[in-house]
Structures are given as structure tokens and as C-alpha cells.
Structure 1
Amino acid sequence: MFRYLVMTVRTPQFQPSVIDAHYAFLERLRQQNQLELAGPFTDKSGGAYLIKAASLDEAKALAFSDPVHTSGSSIVTVYEWNAK
């Protein structure tokens, strides 16, 4: 398994109602032992989370199924990360 940093940045179309679904999504990842860390930015512009996946393609598939992405509320970017 590799680690991937997922960055979410709110768009002008951000829908506050998507937050509960986003948190439920993160909780499912946590229960599947794929989420290591998550949290919002203090300026409320978005947030980041660290996931484990077998490949960059798998990590992107997970991140792009996040409700903040599928609703158009945030731009989601995935980076392979060699965190130590």
C-alpha cells in the first residue's frame, strides 16, 4: 500500500449541504483502514486527507468518488506522497 495526499479546494459552487455526506465518506474510508488523517483548512477554503491505496489509479478512484467532488463543490487533487 502507498500513501496519497488528497487536497480539496472549494469552488464557487460549494454546497454546504454536502459536508455531512463528505464526513460519512471519510468515515467509511476510516472503517476500511484506508484513511490515516483528515481535516479542514482553518481558512475554510477546503481540506486534505491522507489515504492508503495500492496505486495512484485506485487512490484517484476513491478520491473522485468523494461527495465534495461529485457534487462539484470542490476541486480534488491526488498526490502520491512519501511521508516518513
Structure 2
Amino acid sequence: MNRYLVMLFRRPQVDPAVVPLHQQFLEDLRAQGRNEMSGPFGDKSGGAYLLRAESMEQALAIAHSDPAHTSGGWDITLYEWNAR
């Protein structure tokens, strides 16, 4: 599996009620062995997680099912990450 860095940046219209749904989404990914690490940025502008997936297409499909994305409250960008 490949690694993908998923970066999320809050939009002004973020709904605070979505945060627990996003956190549960990350926990579910962790239980599946797909989320290696995750956390918020210190300035509260967003956060990131390290996702394991077979391809960029699969990584996008997973990230786009994140409540942070489906709610429209965060901008999400993915990068294939060749971390060592």
C-alpha cells in the first residue's frame, strides 16, 4: 500500500457538529489499518492524516467520504508521500 498525506483546512462556514464525526471517521480508518497518524494543526486552521491506500484514486475516494469533506467545511488536498 502507498501512503497519502491528507491535508484539511477549515473554511469559515465549518460546522462544529461535524468535528466528532470526522474524528470517528479517523478512528475507523485507524481500526482498518489505513490511518497511520493524524492530528490538528497548532493554529487550529485544520489538520492532516497519513492514509494508506492502493492508489491515488482509492485515497481520494476514502478522503472524499470523510465528513470533513462531505460537509463542505474543509478544503482537502492529497499528496502521495514517499516517506521513509
TM-score grouping bracket, smaller chain normalisation? over 0.9
How far apart are 1:13 and its partner, in Å? 1.1
Aligned Cα root-mean-square deviation (Å): 0.5
| TM-score of the superposed pair, with normalisation by structure 1 | 0.98
Instruction: Give matches, 1:1-84, under 5 Å.
Output: 1-84=1-84
Q: Give the share of equivalent positions with the same residue, in percent.
A: 57
Structure 2 gap ranges (5+):
none
Structure 1 unaligned regions, length at least 5: none
Give the structure-2-normalised TM-score: 0.98
Aligned partner of residue 12 in structure 1, secondary structure: coil
Q: How far apart, in 2, do the equivalents of 1:67 and 1:42 lie?
A: 21
How many matched pairs? Answer: 84
In the TM superposition, structure 1's runs of 4+ consecutive aligned residues that sit over 2 Å from their partners are: none
